Amino acid sequence: MQFQSHKKTQNSQLINPNSQIYTQFSIKFPIFTQFSNKIPNYSYNFEPKIEFLLMESKPIDKRYVVGYALAPKKQASFIQVSLIDLAYKKGIDLIKIDTNKPLMEQGPFDCVLHKLYGHDWENQLIEYSEIYPNAVIIDCPDSIKRLHNRISMLQVVCELDNVFGTDSFGIPKQFVINEIEELSHVRIESEGLKFPVIAKPLVADGSAKSHKMSLVYNNVGLNELRVKPPIVLQEFVNHGGVIFKVYVVGGYVKCVKRKSLADINEDSLGSLDGVVSFSQVSNVSSGHEEYRRLMMGLEDIELPPLRLITDIAIGLKKATKLHLFNFDVIRDTKVGNRYLVIDINYFPGYAKMPDYERVLTDFFWEVLSKDKKGVGCFKKVESRDKEIRLLGNTGCSEDGGMVLPVSPLKRDEKEASIQV
């Protein structure tokens, strides 16, 4: 649904806020009033489009309400009109949760989609799930917390088994610096590392501070670090300047290529500065001009083996009990078939993923519309001595392992997506 805005003119055919069409449209499209109120100096000339939408709307047996509680920046990037419109057409209403009001005073919601933290918010989710036991909480706070620590985050990778093929996978070597005094006398060689190393904040909560990292070339660089402990010193592995970002949405997996830090020649380490700060390599959407620039030169880069990525995604989903996350993978250029998971993020920037509106809408629909014999059933998990209902999967093998079918790969030159 496309909205056209223009400055007020004498001949403009504008919507009367008191008209019946406006009222009907506001009920069907609640987001309409949010957008119209945000631009006071503009009016909207799309009453004919509203009449068409109201006439063409097909009746849906049951509508579902997904309440979303997101930080302002996250909401601005994720809750696009294109997503709201597609979800509405499939019988799903996306409604903003007012974080200034108690959750219990809002809704009711069939599903609560959130990326907020803190004990107060967790208690509200617990209380809500007790009153509305069939409401789906995406995702469980205790499961999300594990990804807020860069050590426990990657430890989950070491717990995976039954990963396909001869290609090896794992995580980089790393250890924690808890006090700033340790930086002046630490010997990374004793920890099994060698320069260069990546310095990252131990806390990975999605804040701007948690994304501030440094590439450290020598001991002088360690003492020049501006990142305050606790920090993680992580092995830097030459990976051809390419990172593979794998997005997981329920049973959907998409692997895309992005440019990353360039390889470093060990012979040149002595001539390099002590430390170089950097942040996320890419933070742009797929339709942005910057995205196209970042993709230049990646056409001939081979993606990791499909089965390997699939197995890791399934394993991480099972181990973390999360359904919205992504993980970053690099390929060791020295070994060739050695892949390392270097980061896992909850509820990442899906707007950067091509066709994210369809993927998320299909996920919401599957969660909400299936009966308890299907993928959309509920599994109880413990959260602070209370139970929160979490989206689960009934497909398990005899030994308790998850068995999920993989559909044929749809791939272009730069991306691979699968359904598991």
Question: Per residue of the chain (420 residues), what is the pLDDT tens digit?
Answer: 444 444 433 443 444 444 444 444 454 555 444 444 444 433 344 444 444 444 344 456 789 999 999 999 999 999 999 999 999 999 999 999 999 999 999 999 999 999 999 999 999 999 999 999 999 999 999 999 999 999 999 999 988 876 665 568 899 999 999 998 898 888 899 889 999 999 999 999 877 788 888 999 998 999 888 878 999 999 999 999 999 999 999 999 999 999 999 899 888 887 787 888 887 544 434 444 544 555 567 888 999 999 999 999 999 999 999 999 999 999 999 988 899 999 999 999 999 898 999 999 999 999 998 753 333 333 343 333 333 333 432 222 223 322 222 222 233 334 566 666
Domain that holds residue 15: 5-145
In degrees rounded to 5, what are phi and psi of residue 145?
-60, -35
> Cα–Cα distance between 311 and 26 in angstroms, integer?
44
**The pair of three-digit structure tokens given for residue 224, joined into one six-digit string:** 């020049």
Instruction: Assign residue 39 the CATH number of its domain.
Output: 3.40.50
Read off the pTM. Answer: 0.74
Q: Answer yes or no: is 285 within a domain.
A: no
| Environment class of 314 (CB within 10 Å of its CB; exposed 0-12, middle 13-18, buried 19+) | buried
Q: Answer yes or no: is 25 within a domain.
A: yes
**The pair of three-digit structure tokens given for residue 265, joined into one six-digit string:** 């020649």
**The pair of three-digit structure tokens given for residue 193, joined into one six-digit string:** 């590392």
Q: Answer yes or no: is 160 within a domain.
A: no
> Cα–Cα distance between 1 and 361 in angstroms, integer?
15
Q: Which of 339, 171, 385 is nearest to 240 (CA)?
A: 339
Instruction: Give how far Cα 124 sits from Cα of 98, 112, 148, 385, Å.
Output: 13, 11, 20, 14
Q: Is 152 helix (H, G, I), strand (E, B) or coil?
A: helix
**Count: domains in the chain:** 1
Q: Which of 88, 93, 85 is nearest to 113 (CA)?
A: 93
Q: H or E element: which one contains 324?
A: strand 324-331
Label residue 247 left, alpha or beta by phi (over 0 means left) and psi (-120 to 50 means alpha).
Answer: beta
